Amino acid sequence: MTIIKHHRLPDPFERIKRGEKKIEIRLFDEKRQKIKIGDIIETYKEPENKELPIVLEELLETMAN
């Protein structure tokens, strides 16, 4: 298990906290290629640095049909 730190603006942070945002789309760069199911993403709300830990449950390889 790896812990990844990720900063967020207030609106997306609150949407994740309320359960309204469950999918994140990111460029599959070198940093994200290391992410595995079960890793914890520590999300921080800017500017207060409030923490919200998220456990990665699923990793989609592509958005293609």
Domain layout of the chain by residue ranges: 3-55
pLDDT 10s per residue in the chain (65 long)?
888 888 888 898 899 999 999 888 888 888 888 889 999 999 898 888 889 999 988 888 776 65
What pLDDT sits at residue 63? Answer: 64
What pLDDT sits at residue 62? Answer: 72
What pLDDT sits at residue 64? Answer: 60
Cis peptide before 47 (omega within 30 of 0): yes
Distances (CA, A) of 6 to 44, 63, 64, 65: 6, 22, 26, 29
Give 50-61 as a DSSP string.
EEEEEE-----S
